[in-house]
Every structure is written in C-alpha cells, then in structure tokens.
C-alpha cells in the first residue's frame, strides 16, 4: 500500500482522499441505494476486471440505476485510479450510489448516480489463518429470498451479511455459514464455500442464494484443471459436517481453508492437501493473469 494520501476517483476526477466527500442527501447513504464491487490488483494487473464490471453493471441494471459512463470508460477510470496511486498489489472498491436527491425513497428524484473508485489495500483474515484454517459457525441470520432481494445484486445495503458477521465475531469465529429460508447452505457472510467429499467437490447452487462469485468461478476452473469435478448442489449442514476438506473463496479472502464447523472438526481438522493445491494454483493464476495497469 502506498504511503502518500490516496487519490480517489470521484465523479470523473481524481481528488485527494481528504477532499473525497459525498452529500448527506446521497441515497447511497440515506437508503443503501446503490451497488459496488471489490476487485484485486496482483503484481501490476487487475484480476478479472471485465467479469467484475459486467457484474457491477448487472447489479445496477437490476435496480434501475443508470451508471453515467460506459463499461469501457469505467474500465479506464479504474485502471487510471490504480496507476495514479502506484499500486502494484491491492484492492479496488468501486461504488455506485443512486446520487443526490430529496428525502424520500423515490430513486427517480436523484438525477445522476455517483461514482467512487478507491484503490487501496485490504487484509481480511490474519496471515496465519491461511495455514491453520478458519473456524465457522452456522449463523441464525438467513440469506433473504431472491423474491425479497436477489443475492446477485451487490447492493450498498449489506446489513444482512453484517448481522451474520456480528454473530461470527461474538462466537469467536472468523466466518459463518448463512442458510437460505429453506435451511440449505447458501454461502458465507462474504465468501462462497466448497467442500470435498469422496473425490468430488461440491458448492451450493446460485439459486440456493449464493453470490455468483468471481473467485468461485476461478476455483471451479482450477479444480477442473486438476481433473476434479465440481457439482453445484443443494447443500445441507450435514454435508459440511461430513466433508473431508472445505475452503472458502472471495475477492478479499482469496482461497482459504475452513477446518472447524459448529465446533466440529472438518475432516482431519487441519487444512487438506487438495485445498493447499487449489490455494497454490490460485496464487499462480492471480499473479500471472489480468489487465495490465498503465503506470506512468
Ligand atoms: N458472497 C458474498 C455475499 C460476497 O459479498 C462476496 C464478495 N464479493 C462473495 C460471496 C465472493 O465473491 P467474489 O469472489 O466475486 O468476491
């Protein structure tokens, strides 16, 4: 992470972080009305930038939010923000707010969406957890049904996930499993989940309430390259209790082992060998592919 004050992209301009401010009348703040993406920079390249931008524009379209610049312009703005901050490794937070409007829900009173791009760093879990593995609980907070709000919309209102995260922290765990309304496993508070059982990998279907994670997709490709099949299934807690290995995926988390669930060991209770291989391959993939940053 660079030491100098960050330059933030705000509505078309790069401004010092001390000047990067939004109105108290922005509906992103008033109602959590907007959407976002988290993206990684590895070794001077942005990992799966197009995939993240496609998902961002789909989130926006789903909530009738017009992003005032094209996907290609957003790509350039993102790369320029990373370059301006001289970041070779880091994290990009791309935020689209509904924009400034009057008090009251009506989004059509907000004439122009706001665009914020922050390129900085992120540390989600302590480094040793990648060697020792995470402990998970079952969160009482359920994922909302798609009919309430599609889990595919990465909205600025993450309270559902935050409520579940509070449960994890209060239980002394780093992450937790969120079930859908039917009681099937959807995902974790900010990560997707994979389990190994009988030589096959399993992950919950998107229709179970899981976000279609970019890292999830990368993990599926890696497992297929390793000659392992991945089945997208309706997953129960029993499946995790009886799994041989388990790992989580996410842009911030990358690929991380999980070794305990509801205080029961998963498999041997230690990170498994296949998980270690997936982690190594993910690191290689992330550090050798992606859109190059146009540094000056
Ligand atoms: N689920 C949720 C709820 C998330 O917020 C995230 C992180 N964006 C993920 C899964 C993982 O998705 P990705 O690999 O695209 O970061």
pLDDT, residue 124, reads 81
Question: Each residue of 103-129: pLDDT tens digit?
Answer: 999 999 999 999 999 999 888 899 999
Residue located nearest, by CA, to atom 12 of ligand 1: 213
pLDDT, residue 4, reads 80
Best CATH choice for the domain 129-286 from the list 3.20.10.10, 1.10.760.10, 1.10.10.10, 1.10.3720.10: 3.20.10.10
Establish whether 270 is a catalytic residue.
Answer: no
What is the distance between the alpha carbons of residues 92 and 95, in angstroms, rounded to a whole number? Answer: 10
Residue located nearest, by CA, to atom 5 of ligand 1: 190
Question: Each residue of 14-65: pLDDT tens digit?
Answer: 999 999 999 999 999 999 999 999 999 999 999 999 999 999 999 999 999 9
User: Does 279 score more than 80 pLDDT?
Assistant: yes
**Could you give the 3-state DSSP secondary structure of residue 42?**
strand
pLDDT, residue 3, reads 62
With the most atoms of ligand 1 within 8 angstroms of its CB, the residue from 157, 178, 187, 211 to mutate is 211
Residue located nearest, by CA, to atom 2 of ligand 1: 190
Mean pLDDT of 182-209: 97
Mean pLDDT of the chain: 97
Question: Each residue of 132-175: pLDDT tens digit?
Answer: 999 999 999 999 999 999 999 999 999 999 999 999 999 999 99
164: exposed, middle or buried (Cβ count in 10 Å: 0-12, 13-18, 19+)? buried
Domain ranges of the chain: 7-120, 129-286
Q: In angstroms, what is the span from residue 135 Cα to ligand 1's centroid? A: 18
Evaluate: CB of 191 within 6 angstroms of ligand 1. yes
118 touches 155 (CB < 8 A): no
Question: Each residue of 4-14: pLDDT tens digit?
Answer: 899 999 999 99
pTM of the model: 0.96
User: Does 203 score more than 80 pLDDT?
Assistant: yes
With the most atoms of ligand 1 within 8 angstroms of its CB, the residue from 35, 42, 150, 251 to mutate is 251
Of 21, 112, 127, 154, which is the active-site residue? 154
What is the distance between the alpha carbons of residues 180 and 176, in angstroms, rounded to a whole number? Answer: 13
The CATH class that applies to domain 7-120 reads alpha beta
What is the distance between the alpha carbons of residues 218 and 215, in angstroms, rounded to a whole number? Answer: 5
User: Does 1 score more than 80 pLDDT?
Assistant: no
């Amino acid at each position: 992470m660079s030491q100098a004050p960050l330059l933030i992209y705000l509505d078309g301009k790069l401004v010092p972080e001390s000047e990067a401010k939004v109105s108290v009348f922005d509906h992103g703040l008033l109602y959590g009305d907007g959407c976002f993406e988290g993206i990684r920079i590895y070794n001077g390249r942005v990992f799966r930038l197009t995939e993240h931008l496609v998902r961002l524009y789909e989130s926006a379209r789903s909530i009738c939010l017009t992003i005032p610049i094209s996907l290609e312009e957003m790509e350039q703005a993102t790369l320029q923000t990373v370059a301006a901050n001289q970041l070779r490794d880091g994290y990009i937070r791309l935020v689209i707010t509904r924009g400034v409007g009057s008090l009251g829900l009506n989004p059509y009173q907000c004439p122009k969406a706001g665009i914020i791009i922050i390129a900085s760093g992120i540390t989600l879990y302590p480094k040793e957890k990648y060697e020792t593995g995470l402990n998970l609980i079952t969160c009482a907070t359920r994922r909302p049904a798609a009919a309430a709000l599609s889990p595919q919309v990465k909205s600025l209102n993450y309270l559902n996930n935050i409520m579940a995260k509070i449960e994890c922290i209060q239980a002394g765990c780093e992450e937790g499993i969120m079930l859908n309304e039917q009681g099937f496993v959807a995902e974790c508070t900010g990560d997707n989940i994979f389990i190994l059982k009988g030589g096959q990998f399993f992950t919950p279907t998107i229709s179970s309430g899981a976000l279609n994670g970019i890292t999830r997709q990368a993990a599926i490709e890696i497992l297929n390259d390793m000659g392992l099949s991945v089945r997208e299934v309706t997953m129960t807690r029993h499946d995790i209790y009886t799994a041989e290995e388990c790992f989580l995926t996410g842009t911030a988390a990358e690929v991380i082992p999980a070794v305990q669930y509801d205080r029961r060991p998963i498999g041997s209770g230690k990170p498994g060998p296949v998980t270690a291989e997936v982690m190594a391959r993910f690191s290689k993939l992330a550090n050798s592919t992606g859109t190059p940053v146009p540094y000056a």
